[in-house]
Structures are given as C-alpha cells and as structure tokens.
Amino acid sequence: MKGGKLIIFSAPSGSGKTTIVRHLLEHDDLNLAFSISATSRPRRGKEKNGEHYYFMSLSEFKNHIKHDDFLEWEEVYRDNFYGTLKSEVERLWAEGKNVIFDIDVVGGLRIKKKFPDQTLAVFVKPPSVDELKIRLKKRSTESDDKINMRVAKASVELATAPQFDKIIKNYDLDTALVEAKELVAEFIKSDK
C-alpha cells in the first residue's frame, strides 16, 4: 500500500474528534476523504451501512481478520470489533484523496506505526474526564453502564496522548477547529 497522506484523529469518546473531522471534511482545499471503519457492533439510531460504518456480523469481521483484510483492527469492547479495511484506504487513495480517520487511540497508533512518514496523528484532549461523562450523557445514545465503560477507558486512552504527533486541547470548540485546520493544512503541504 502506498498513496496519499493519512490524517488520524483519536481521542476518548466525547472529546469532540468527530465534530473536528466533520469540520475538516467541509474544507475542499484539504482534499480529504473520510475512511469509513468496519464494525461488528449493531447499528445505533439512524446509522447507515457504508456511510457511518461498514456493519458486519461478528463472524464476517473475524473472517476479514483471518484473511488479513484490515490495516488495523481492535476488539474495543467484548465482541465489538472495529477496524480499517485496506480496501477502503486504497479506494480513497485511488481517488487522489488524503485519508482522514476518526479512530480509537490503539488503531490510530497502529496506522502511524505502519506509515510513519505519511501520517499525522492528532490526539484530541477533553477538558476533563467529568466533562466527557457530561458530553456522553447529553448524546442520549447509550446506557449508563456503557457510558461508565467509556469513561473508565478514557483514563487509559488519555495516557497515550504523548505518543501522538500533536495534541489539540478541546476546551473551546472554535479554537480547536481552527487549530486542527492549520495543523492538517500544514501537514498536507509538507513534503513528508
């Protein structure tokens, strides 16, 4: 696999990485395309296959693992696998795009390790773990148990921040959006 640039945004759930990635995709000058992840978890709300995720059964996902179809994959929660299909990144590169990811920290660091010179790995840091819990509750998409699992995982994820190329502190969304755009624009223009 060889192609364009890879831009990774990773963070604990509720940090604002998805909002930042959506904002960046609106800027045509960045020539970005979103890498849709595959998952074995059930759809939530109005999620659509091929738009939000590639939804697969657990056995289908494990079959892709067996055939080495993933650039990276992770069992994020029990029987909830997430991964990046090699074919997805190759498809976007064939379109001449730079690929942007909204991905968990483990997957983000795995991609960075495989493509160190082509990748900008950005960690989005929330104001606090308490603020994360508030944001997750406001979504109203998950049970309290799921929210507590995500908050517990956030502490571990926050410890990985120094392994990323850049850290954006999302204490003020407007500031974080400007900082993210500047970082990505600078990386895309670089010869790296």
- Domains (ranges, CATH) in the chain? 6-189 (3.40.50.300)
Digit-coded pLDDT (tens) for 105-142:
989 999 999 999 999 999 999 877 777 777 777 777 77
Interatomic CA distance for residues 180 and 20, integer angstroms: 7
Digit-coded pLDDT (tens) for 18-70:
899 999 999 999 999 999 999 999 998 899 999 999 999 999 999 999 999 99
- Distance, C-alpha 120 to centroid of its chain: 12
Digit-coded pLDDT (tens) for 27-41:
999 999 999 999 999
User: Taking the model in full, what pTM does it have?
Assistant: 0.85
Interatomic CA distance for residues 74 and 90, integer angstroms: 20
